[in-house]
Amino acid sequence: MQNSLKVGFNRNGAIFILSLLSFLYVIPAYSAKVFCLAQLLPSTNNYYNSSVPTVDPAIPANSFSLSKRWNDLFDFSSYGEYGKERSGRISGAFSQEIDWQNIGGNHTKSFLTQGMDYLSELHVNIQEKLWSDYNFESRFFIRKTDNKYIDPRRDARLKEFNLRVLNSNSLYELGNIYADFSQFVLGSSLEGYNIQIAPNSFQKYYVIAAREHPADESAAKFQRNFFGGKADFFLFKDSNIFSNFRVGLQGGATRDDGATLEHTIYTQELRNLVGSIDGEISFIKIFSLQYEIARSGYVADYLAQSKNYNSGTAFRVQPALNFDKFSVRYLYYYVQPEFYTNFGSASADKRQQQVTVDYRFNDKADCSFIENYYYDRLADSLRDKRTVNNEKYLNFNFRPFTSRRDLNLRPYINYLSTYSDDDRNSLKSKTKTVGFSVNDTLSGKTTYGLNYEYRAFEDGANDKAMSEWFQRVGVNLGNEQQLLNRRLYYYVEPSMDIRRTKTDDDKDINFILSFSGQYDMYNNLITRFGYNLQNTDSAVPDQDFVNNRSFFEFDFLLSQKRSTHVVFRAERNWFKYDDSAQDYNETRTILKFITNF
Amino acid sequence: MRQEQSLNSSLIFKKTSFCRKIFYTLLLYAFMFIVGCANVNSQETQSGSYAENPYALADSLLTKVFSVYQNYTRDGFERLVSQDFNPIRSEFIDTVEKSFYAGNILEMHCFTDKALLSSDKLSVNFKWQKKMLPYGTKEVALLTGAANFVFKHENGSWRIYQVSGDSPF
């Protein structure tokens, strides 16, 4: 145990030291270059627009002294007032919750645990302006709880940690990252390094070295690492024909680190290599195309005597035509059974063709139609039968009155046919889903709506034994008004489901009533309340139940500026079944403190 | 006794390890301070609330997804799923529909573990709880799992782009 901790510490320590060294050597060397390029080239690749706005050329060159940086960073009093002269800041949010829970009846039917639960969460963001147009950002999130469903460990846990240095053309990132190359190669949450560099508007490069998870002795899993790179080229930038012409080359290797655990008969060392070419081609008008072709190699256990090496190909292409009132998009998707991507996303052993047509009649009406056909058991598949799915979806969207744009009618129909090529056609079925919804707003204060859905599942095999038919109908009403010069909002939504099956003449009837609301008692005190009733009359004897859930909440606003709240909430849940051995009730009171800083 | 000693030393080691991590972090920040004192022409740091706290966005999106799922209609859920959903969009929606029509859903809860925001995607790791009474059974089923949803920002809305792990549907 200690050894494993030691290994963990050494690795983490090494990561910090390496990050320090990487910043020491990489950034000063690169910053000058980027600065020069920034002078010469307009920055059209603002890839990090979610985290960094564009440079304002009107800002004069600033020099921040160490004392100003220190004062700015720890100036919590000016929360929410961040001028351009501010060199940096620390902000975040803190919340603490104490729950008291009491359970009666069958305890095994409750997610709660008898007694008290605590939950504390701290989010911290640090931002600092660096040289040139570089910024430093860091974020971490710490949680401590004794609620086993939220976290099985009771100590303070660092749930997320991220450090980054970036400007509009480059990013150096360490910690928890969302790594995203292309569909088939990489799209996953990892821990490690992420570097993105765009030397100019024509090219961009990515390098990622990270792990998915550390070694897990109890699950007999080695640490799983990913190493990969990507190069994007943006061609024909000033063309009169193309608005976007991107070609991307990417590759990634997934490798279990066999040194992180002792080898046993349960451990397996996975190796997976995926490379692909992807891109988008968009003409100025009418036509666009997305595509990717990938090849993978895969060994489930590199340590096994028989390594059983697999390789496969995946391909997708999506051309689209866009006119004023009409657009059509076609998708062809093909993934061989042997194709495997650990960090990308692919449905192996699948061929799919999909056509999507959108048509706008006028300002008051438009429609969308999707035809989707897909099947498995391609060549070299290990499946014993082929399953074919053919699906059609049609929906309309009407806004019939120009003067009442909120009045919206949406009818839709979906038809799914499934069958297999085995002797008994054992998967043969048809699923029809038809419905509509109407929603409207009256004078901005009242909303109302109606929805209906019919679903028929017709089992074509097994003597239709699994067939079932549903009808669901619901209405809703929301209203905001003044009560004693204070705002009152309430929302009520009753609905009913009726289920009929092939094997039973009787029906399941579910009635659901939801009611919730909010009343602003004072400027700094809000009350919230809700009630939910679920009442089922089951077709099967002794299976009726009633579930009542309700809550009441006082929300005291202590500071508008920092959004500081103290919330007191009481909840009651009461479940009563025909079989009284299943009955349970839950009472819960929650005291919560939340503030930003 | 020996176990207790081992536990104590393990705890001490954990504390030391934590302190060292904090030390390295502070060292890194100190370094950033020092190099940042050069003559600069910095651009504005971001102040958008979602970039600072993607957890708020993640919580609101998960709440919306589970709320629509618990009061499922095909059209309502279709609108939550990106047209670029991968691998196969309609297969995912059919799975969700089958899951909803499999029984009475009594409760659903989720707890966000990690929310990572990139330029147009939000990756959310979370744990979920689902209590349901499947049709034809007498036992209330308590289901739990850990899943990863990736949301994609398109046409002004965040939509489900990818689902992995233990799907709550």
The alpha carbons of chain B give a radius of gyration, in whole angstroms, of 22
A546 contacts in chain B (CB < 8 Å): none
B9 contacts in chain A (CB < 8 Å): 2
Q: Which residues contact A202 (CB under 8 A, 6 or more apart)?
A: A233, A234, A235, A237
Q: Which of A84-93, A138-147, B94-103 has the lowest mean pLDDT?
A: A84-93
Q: Which of A349-358, A547-556, A573-582 has the lowest mean pLDDT?
A: A573-582
The per-residue pLDDT for B87 is: 87
Number of H helices, E strands in chain B: 5, 4
- Asked if A465 and A459 count as a contact pair (C-beta separation under 8 A), the reply is yes
- What is the percent of chain B with per-residue pLDDT over 70, rounded to a whole number? 69
DSSP state of A33: H
The per-residue pLDDT for A516 is: 95
Locate A512 and state its tokens.
């659901």
Is B4 at the interface with chain A, CB within 8 A? no
Of B9, B24, B46, the CB nearest to A2: B9
Of B6, B51, B114, the CB nearest to A176: B114
Distance between B130 CA and the closest CA of chain A, angstroms? 9
pLDDT averaged over every residue in chain A: 87
- Asked if A123 and A143 count as a contact pair (C-beta separation under 8 A), the reply is no
Contact yes or no for A168 and B43 at CB 8 A: yes
Q: Determine the distance from the C-alpha atom of residue A255 to the mean position of all C-alpha atoms in its chain, rounded to a whole number.
A: 26
Is residue B46 scored above 90 in pLDDT?
Answer: no
Q: Which of A223-232, B48-57, B87-96, B130-139 has the lowest mean pLDDT?
A: B48-57
Mean pLDDT confidence for A269-287: 95
The per-residue pLDDT for B86 is: 85
B39 contacts in chain A (CB < 8 Å): 61, 63, 131
Contact yes or no for B51 and A131 at CB 8 A: no
pLDDT averaged over every residue in chain B: 78
Q: Determine the distance from the C-alpha atom of residue A164 to the mean position of all C-alpha atoms in its chain, rounded to a whole number.
A: 22
The alpha carbons of chain A give a radius of gyration, in whole angstroms, of 29
Is residue A11 scored above 80 in pLDDT?
Answer: no
Distance between A239 CA and the closest CA of chain B, angstroms? 26
The per-residue pLDDT for A18 is: 40
Residue with tokens 């974020």: A139
Mean pLDDT confidence for A486-510: 92
- What is the percent of chain B with per-residue pLDDT over 90, rounded to a whole number? 55
The per-residue pLDDT for A5 is: 36
Locate A164 and state its tokens.
């980054």
Window B:109-168, CB contacts with A under 8 Å: 109, 111, 113-123, 125, 127, 129, 131, 133, 135-136, 138-140, 142, 144, 148, 150, 162, 164
pLDDT band at B49 (very low <50, low <70, confident <90, very high): low
Locate A203 and state its tokens.
């090219």
Locate A200 and state its tokens.
């100019």
Contact yes or no for B39 and A9 at CB 8 A: no
Window A:535-554, CB contacts with B under 8 Å: 536, 540, 542-543, 545, 547, 549
A60 contacts in chain B (CB < 8 Å): 41
pLDDT band at B52 (very low <50, low <70, confident <90, very high): low
Of A6, A60, A69, the CB nearest to B36: A69
DSSP string, A55-78: P-TTSPPB---HHHHHHHHT--TT
pLDDT band at B33 (very low <50, low <70, confident <90, very high): very low
Of A91, A149, A187, the CB nearest to B144: A149
Of B107, B116, B127, the CB nearest to A149: B127
Window B:31-60, CB contacts with A under 8 Å: 31-48, 50-53, 55
Dihedral of alpha carbons A37, A43, A44, A45, sign = positive
pLDDT band at A461 (very low <50, low <70, confident <90, very high): confident
Is residue A44 scored above 70 in pLDDT?
Answer: no
Is A416 at the interface with chain B, CB within 8 A? yes
Locate A499 and state its tokens.
């289920």
The per-residue pLDDT for A10 is: 43
Mean pLDDT confidence for A49-78: 64
End-to-end CA distance of chain B: 47
A69 contacts in chain B (CB < 8 Å): 33, 36-37
Of A9, A141, A356, the CB nearest to B17: A9
A132 contacts in chain B (CB < 8 Å): 40-42
Is residue A242 scored above 80 in pLDDT?
Answer: yes
Mean pLDDT confidence for A485-514: 92
Mean pLDDT confidence for A193-212: 95
Q: How far apart are CA A363 and CA A356, in angstroms?
A: 20
Is A361 at the interface with chain B, CB within 8 A? no
Size of the A and B interface in Cβ pairs below 8 Å: 276
- What is the percent of chain A with per-residue pLDDT over 90, rounded to a whole number? 67
Residue-wise pLDDT for A77-130, tens only, equals: 888 888 878 889 999 999 999 999 999 999 898 999 899 999 999 999 999 999
Q: How far apart are CA A124 and CA A158, in angstroms?
A: 11
Interface test with A, best of B43, B96, B130 (most A CBs within 10 A): B43
Other beta carbons within 10 angstroms of residue A318's beta carbon come to: 19
Dihedral of alpha carbons A303, A304, A307, A308, sign = negative
pLDDT band at B16 (very low <50, low <70, confident <90, very high): low
The per-residue pLDDT for A20 is: 39
A453 contacts in chain B (CB < 8 Å): 73-74
Distance between A46 CA and the closest CA of chain B, angstroms? 9
Window A:193-252, CB contacts with B under 8 Å: none
Residue-wise pLDDT for A282-319, tens only, equals: 999 899 999 999 999 999 888 887 888 899 999 999 99
User: By three-state DSSP, how is residue B137 classified?
Assistant: coil
Q: How far apart are CA B119 and CA B48, in angstroms?
A: 13
The per-residue pLDDT for A426 is: 87
Q: Tell me the one-letter amino acid at A153.
A: R
The per-residue pLDDT for A58 is: 39
Mean pLDDT confidence for A9-20: 42
Interface test with A, best of B4, B25, B27, B44 (most A CBs within 10 A): B44
The per-residue pLDDT for A12 is: 46
Q: Which residues contact A174 (CB under 8 A, 6 or more apart)?
A: A15, A19, A162, A163, A164, A192, A193, A194
Contact yes or no for A582 and B140 at CB 8 A: yes
Of B24, B40, B50, the CB nearest to A131: B40
Of A554 and B14, the structure prediction assigns the larger pLDDT to A554
Burial environment of residue A392 by CB neighbours within 10 A (0 to 12, 13 to 18, 19 or more): middle
Of B145 and A58, the structure prediction assigns the larger pLDDT to B145
pTM of the complete model = 0.83
Is A375 at the interface with chain B, CB within 8 A? no
Window A:33-72, CB contacts with B under 8 Å: 47-56, 59-66, 69-70
Distance between B99 CA and the closest CA of chain A, angstroms? 13
Dihedral of alpha carbons B45, A229, A186, A14, sign = negative
Q: Tell me the one-letter amino acid at A66.
A: L
The per-residue pLDDT for B67 is: 93
Other beta carbons within 10 angstroms of residue A440's beta carbon come to: 15
Mean pLDDT confidence for B94-109: 93
Of B33, B44, B52, the CB nearest to A91: B52
A28 contacts in chain B (CB < 8 Å): 35
A159 contacts in chain B (CB < 8 Å): 113-114
Mean pLDDT confidence for A466-471: 92
- Asked if A144 and A158 count as a contact pair (C-beta separation under 8 A), the reply is no
Interface test with B, best of A131, A452, A475, A595 (most B CBs within 10 A): A131
Q: How far is CA A449 from CA A281, A392, A407, A439, A453, in A?
A: 42, 26, 9, 4, 14
Contact yes or no for A64 and B51 at CB 8 A: no
Longest dimension (CA), chain B: 72
Is A123 at the interface with chain B, CB within 8 A? yes
DSSP state of A85: T
The per-residue pLDDT for A1 is: 36
B138 contacts in chain A (CB < 8 Å): 542-543, 579, 582
Is B97 at the interface with chain A, CB within 8 A? yes
